[in-house]
Amino acid sequence: MSEQEKNLSSEEKEAKKATQDAPAKLENNTDSTETPESQKEEETETSEVTKEKSAASNEEKKDKENVVEETKEDDAQKELDDANAEDSEDQDVGRRHEIAKKDYESMSLDELVIELENLLKSEKVQAIREHVSEIKVTFDKQFNEIVEEKKENFLAEGGNIIDFHYSSPIKKKFNSIYFEYREKRDAHYSQLKKNLNQNLQARLSIIEELKNMIGSGESMGATFKQFKELQERWKNAGPVPKNEYNNVWKNYHHHVERFYDFLHLDREFRDLDFKYNLDQKLKIIERAEELAEESDINRAFRELQLLHKMWKEELGPVAKEFRDDLWDKFSEATKKIHQKRQAYFEELDQEREKNYEVKKEVVEQIKKLGNKEIKSHNDAQQRIKNIEKLREIFFSAGKAPRKVNDKIWDEFKTSVRDFNRKKNAFYKELKKEQFENLKKKQELLKIAEDNKDSDDFETTTPVMKRIQSEWKEIGHVPRKDSDKIWKRFKKACNEYFDRLHKEKNKSSDEEFNNFIAKKEFIAKIKKLEFSANKEEAVSEIKELISQWGSLGHVPNSKRYIESKFNKALNQLFNKIDIDKKDAELIKYENRLHDLDEINDNNKINKEASFLRKKVDETKDKINQFENNLQFFSTQDESNPLVKEVIDNINKLKDELEMWKEKLTKLRDL
**Phi/psi at 375 (5° precision):** -100, -25
Closest by CA position to 254, among listed 38, 33, 65, 80:
33
Q: Are 310 and 358 in contact (CB under 8 A)?
A: no
| Burial class of residue 24 (count of CB atoms within 10 Å of its CB; 0-12, 13-18, 19+) | buried
Distances (CA, A) of 37 to 56, 57, 112, 441: 13, 11, 64, 108
pLDDT in tens, 258-276: 777 765 555 666 777 788 8
Mean pLDDT per 10-residue segment, the chain (669 residues): 41 43 33 33 37 45 39 53 56 57 78 86 82 85 80 69 78 87 80 81 85 70 78 80 81 79 61 84 88 81 83 79 87 85 76 84 88 83 88 83 83 86 81 86 91 87 90 85 89 90 71 85 82 78 82 81 84 78 75 71 83 88 84 73 83 84 78
User: Exposed, middle or buried by CB within 10 Å (0-12, 13-18, 19+), for 482?
Assistant: middle
| Rounded to 5°, angle at Cα 426 from 423 and 430 | 135
Segments making up each domain of the chain, as ranges:
502-668
Spatial contact of 256 and 209, defined as CB atoms under 8 Å apart: no
Instruction: Quote the CA–CA distance of 228 and 231 in Å, as a whole number.
Output: 5
User: What angle do the packed helices 601-630 and 640-668 form, to 10 degrees?
Assistant: 160
3-class secondary-structure state, position 394? helix
- Contacts of the segment 208-215: beta carbons below 8 A, 24+ positions apart: 210/252, 210/255, 210/256, 210/259, 211/33, 211/34, 211/255, 213/259, 213/263, 214/36, 214/255, 214/258, 214/259, 214/262, 214/263, 215/36, 215/37, 215/38, 215/39, 215/262
The C-alpha atoms of residue 593 and residue 272 are separated, in whole angstroms, by 115
pLDDT of residue 86: 56
Instruction: Dump pLDDT digits (tens) for 459-508.
Output: 889 999 998 999 998 888 888 888 898 999 999 999 988 888 877 766 46
249 DSSP β-pair partners: 28
- List CB contacts of 291: < 8 A, sequence separation 6 or more: 300, 303, 304, 307, 333, 337
pLDDT at 90: 55
Nearest C-alpha neighbor of 180 from the set 96, 110, 120: 120
pLDDT of residue 89: 52
Residue 552 burial by Cβ neighbours in a 10 Å radius (0-12, 13-18, 19+): middle
Give dist(CA 282, CA 235) in Å, integer: 21
8 A C-beta contact, residue 528 and residue 575:
no
Residue 9 contacts residue 90 (beta carbons within 8 Å): no
Q: What pLDDT score does 384 carry?
A: 86
289: Cβ–Cβ under 8 A, 6 or more apart, which residues? 333
CA distance 57 to 193: 39
Q: Are 489 and 471 in contact (CB under 8 A)?
A: yes
Q: Give the DSSP H or E segment for 85.
A: helix 75-87
Long-range contacts of 15-19 (CB under 8 A, 24+ apart): 15/287, 15/303, 15/306, 15/307, 15/310, 16/306, 16/310, 18/283, 18/284, 18/286, 18/287, 18/307, 19/280, 19/283, 19/284, 19/287, 19/307, 19/310, 19/315
AA identity, residue 666: L
Backbone angles phi, psi at 28, to 5 degrees: -140, 155
Q: How distant, in Å, are the alpha carbons of 322, 488, 636, 652 from that of 639?
A: 68, 44, 6, 20
* C-alpha separations of 78 from 30, 83, 249, 363, 451 in Å: 17, 8, 15, 39, 91
Task: Give bridge partners of residue 28 from the DSSP assignment.
Answer: 249
For 72, 95, 162, 273, 564, the CA distances from 523, given in Å and listed in that order, are: 105, 81, 65, 115, 10
List phi, psi (to 5°) of 140. -60, -40
Q: Are 358 and 391 in contact (CB under 8 A)?
A: no
